[in-house]
Amino acid sequence: MEERLQKILAAAGVASRREAEKIITAGRVRVNGKVVTELGCKFDADKVRISVDGKPIVQEAKAYYMFYKPRGVVTTMSDPQNRRSIADFVQNLPERVFPVGRLDFNTEGLLLLTNDGALAQALMHPSHEVNKTYLVKVPGIVPQEKLDQLRLGVKLEDGPTAPAVVNLRDYERGFTLFDITIHEGRNRQIRRMCDAIGFPVRDLKRIKLGPLQLSNLGRGKFRSLSEQELSQLRKAAKL
């Protein structure tokens, strides 16, 4: 997959993306022996030779981790407000990884961490319709007709949602627990859908991403994907 040159340099650990831009414009980067100074140039790192100051860059081996993001963590690698971020949990990993998609600050659950840009892009592309399943807890007893609204799709300010798969789990001590599966990736979508039916979310956890299931993994912990999981994930992403 072709990516911007500064992104390739950052992924190889040469420098941050912003610093990589400076290195490029300074004429220190060669691609197949030719100096490249334009920031918009794209290349497939697996098909070209890239060097900085005459030294070939070394691409990291591809890495794939399942991470259980806790509540109160931002899904970024840094935060200007000094809140806890993904970087606080993965600083000892041998590879530079990034989260695929986002979970909002107060949502916990499954995140994929990788340095495979092609897979990340495919998983997030709307046309691939990769399913994401969440466990939802809302105050009150939600009647079936309200859950049916979620199943059919609800109107939001940025347009109607696609139909969702909703499975009622339990009514528990004045709360309703249910699973909801969507394939869209709008900002805070589950919370806005529940607001639209009059039952604001109390707790929200993502428990599935495509074929991946969050199980036997503690909050703030991560593990490598198995070969079978990776194969199934690539199939879901249509790669």
**What residues are labeled active site?**
104
Neighbours of 25 (CB within 10 A): 14
- Name, in order, each residue with C-beta under 8 angstroms of 47's C-beta and a sequence gap of 6 or more: none
- Name, in order, each residue with C-beta under 8 angstroms of 207's C-beta and a sequence gap of 6 or more: 109, 110, 133, 134, 135, 179, 213, 214
C-alpha separations of 11 from 3, 15, 98, 163, 197 in Å: 11, 8, 10, 37, 43
SS3 111: strand
- Name, in order, each residue with C-beta under 8 angstroms of 122's C-beta and a sequence gap of 6 or more: 128, 237, 238, 239
d(CA 199, CA 140): 8
User: Which residue from 134, 192, 211, 139 is spatially nearest to 165, judged by alpha carbons?
Assistant: 134
